[in-house]
Amino acid sequence: MEFINSQLSQIESEGFELSRVKEIYEEIVKQCVESGVTFKEGTHEMMFLNHILVLSKRIVSKELIEEMELCGIEELSSFARDTADSIVRSVLSKNNLEMNKTESFLIATHIEMNKEEENENGK
């Protein structure tokens, strides 16, 4: 949690409305948990939570990643793709932004990495 707090301080120092970034961040985390996506403490969790913070910041600034060719998307499970699509579509819609498949792909990649780790460790 210390890492997240330091990232939030950095975001605030950049002039972003911290309460909006936190609100979006918490909504994404909530939707992940409700979808069955949880991360054990460690590197994957830190990378994923950092990504969610950066995504939240991009949503507040309305500067999403440009759509790009999604190489390797077919290698991700339907669970990871569908869960990420649902989460990203929901949070973007609530913030008056159109669906962004690149943002969804990046979230799906984290979900898939977590799923693979759970399978390797016997969940």
Instruction: Domain ranges for the chain, please list them.
Output: 2-120
What is the per-residue pLDDT for 119?
A: 72
Instruction: Report which secondary-structure segment, H or E, holds 78.
Output: helix 78-94
Q: Which structure tokens are listed for 49?
A: 């939570």
Domain 2-120, CATH number (from 3.40.50.1370, 3.30.420.40, 1.10.1790.10, 3.30.565.10): 1.10.1790.10
Q: How far apart are CA 98 and CA 9, in angstroms?
A: 28
117 contact partners, CB below 8 Å, separation of at least 6: 40, 44
What is the per-residue pLDDT for 97?
A: 95
What is the per-residue pLDDT for 89?
A: 96
What is the per-residue pLDDT for 81?
A: 93
What is the per-residue pLDDT for 15?
A: 73
Report yes or no on whether pTM surpasses 0.85.
Answer: no
Residue type, 4: I
Maximum pairwise Cα distance, the chain: 43
What is the per-residue pLDDT for 122?
A: 66
Over the chain (123 residues), the average pLDDT of each successive run of 10 is 72 77 91 86 80 91 86 85 96 95 92 80 65
Q: How far is CA 97 from CA 15, 37, 100, in A?
A: 21, 24, 9
58 contact partners, CB below 8 Å, separation of at least 6: 64, 65, 103
CB 79 within 8 A of CB 37: no
What is the per-residue pLDDT for 107?
A: 93
